[in-house]
């Protein structure tokens, strides 16, 4: 079995693969102060409580955008799962042509998502939108070229900024509002957040399809914690919650 780990700014997602099938997904909050023992005990206990034997794990792959936790995570895997993990970073095989001015700047999560998407949809132009703490949109050509992308504040960051930067606005639940405008302050914030984000992403996709892919068929893939929030809005052709985890598995297969 293969264990894949995706360390994000807010939460850490894990996927256990048996062959090509992801048989278990679980997550925990990302805490840069977590010790290797805390992480290791967590991993072992979740596997055990779900009926899986950690000793059957043959490979571990990690994708992290939080460098401060990488050492503890690496030691946890070695001590509690008896495997040294492979981290997605500069120098590993990706199967992609990185058309970035400085490839070392590309986030590990972006690389993993691109690898996972190309593995699933080979020969297609791709727009991959990851709706996590930050919202990222990355472009991958049908020739497996990583062309670049955009980064904007995520929905939770936007809510926190409103609550922290104003005297009377408070934090609200992130959800699709009942109306396109608010009948209360809470609803007004929710409507502004939801339709403002949807509008930005629609504009990005329009410009990408027109100016980057020049009208060619292009698949829009959504992933990340808030992607399902827009399922009814038809922003995405496909929503793949575990795309980064699948990409980490691809990296392990290549390396």
For residues 159 and 75, membership in a common domain is answered with no
For residues 11 and 82, membership in a common domain is answered with yes
Query: Residue 158 belongs to what domain range?
Result: 98-244
Where in 132-201 does DSSP place strands (E)? 134-140, 145-153
Residue 39 clears pLDDT 90, i.e. is over it: yes
Q: Tell me if 232 is assigned to some domain.
A: yes
Q: Tell me if 254 is assigned to some domain.
A: no
Give 181-214 pLDDT, tens digit per residue. Answer: 988 999 999 999 999 999 999 999 999 999 999 9
CA angle 4/9/14 to nearest 5° reads 20
For residues 142 and 77, membership in a common domain is answered with no
Residue 170 clears pLDDT 90, i.e. is over it: no
For residues 114 and 181, membership in a common domain is answered with yes
Instruction: Return the DSSP state at 128.
Output: E
CATH of the domain at 71: 3.30.420.40
The burial class, CB within 10 Å (0-12 / 13-18 / 19+), for 87 is buried
The domain boundary, picked from 54, 87, 120, lies at 87
Give 51-73 pLDDT, tens digit per residue. Answer: 999 999 999 999 999 999 999 99
Catalytic residue (one of 109, 232, 237, 253) = 109
Query: Cα dist. 117→48, 111, 126, 221 in Å?
Result: 30, 10, 8, 8
Can you give the pLDDT at residue 101?
85
The domain boundary, picked from 65, 87, 109, lies at 87
Rounded CA gap, 250 and 240, in Å? 15
Q: Is 109 a catalytic residue?
A: yes
For residues 17 and 112, membership in a common domain is answered with no
Q: How many domains does the chain have?
A: 2
- pLDDT cut 90: percent of the chain above it: 78
Mean pLDDT of the chain: 93
Q: Tell me if 221 is assigned to some domain.
A: yes
Give the tokens for residue 85: 């993990």
- CB-CB contact of 146 with 140 (8 Å): yes
Give 95-124 pLDDT, tens digit per residue. Answer: 999 988 888 888 899 999 999 999 999 999
Confidence of residue 178 (pLDDT cuts 50, 70, 90): confident
């Amino acid at each position: 079995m293969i264990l894949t780990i995706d360390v994000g700014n807010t939460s850490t997602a894990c996927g256990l693969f048996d062959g090509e099938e992801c048989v278990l997904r679980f997550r925990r909050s990302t805490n840069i102060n977590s010790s290797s023992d805390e992480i290791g005990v967590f991993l072992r206990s979740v596997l055990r409580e779900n009926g899986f034997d950690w000793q059957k794990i043959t490979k571990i792959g990690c994708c992290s955008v939080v460098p401060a936790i990488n050492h503890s995570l690496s030691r946890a895997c070695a001590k509690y799962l008896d495997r040294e993990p492979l981290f997605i970073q500069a120098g590993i095989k990706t199967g992609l042509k990185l058309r970035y001015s400085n490839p070392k700047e590309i986030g590990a999560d972006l690389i993993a998502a691109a690898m996972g998407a190309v593995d699933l949809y080979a020969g297609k132009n791709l727009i991959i939108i990851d709706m996590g703490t930050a919202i990222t949109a990355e472009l991958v050509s049908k020739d497996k070229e990583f062309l670049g992308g955009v980064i904007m504040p995520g929905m939770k960051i936007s809510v926190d900024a409103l609550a922290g930067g104003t005297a009377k606005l408070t934090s609200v639940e992130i959800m699709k509002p009942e109306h396109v405008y608010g009948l209360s302050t809470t609803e007004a914030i929710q409507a502004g957040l939801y339709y403002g984000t949807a509008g930005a992403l629609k504009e990005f996709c329009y410009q990408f399809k027109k100016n980057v892919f020049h009208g060619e068929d292009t698949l829009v893939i959504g992933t990340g914690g808030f992607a399902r929030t827009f399922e009814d809005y038809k922003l995405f052709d496909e929503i793949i919650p575990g795309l980064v985890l699948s990409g980490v598995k691809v990296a392990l297969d290549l390396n």
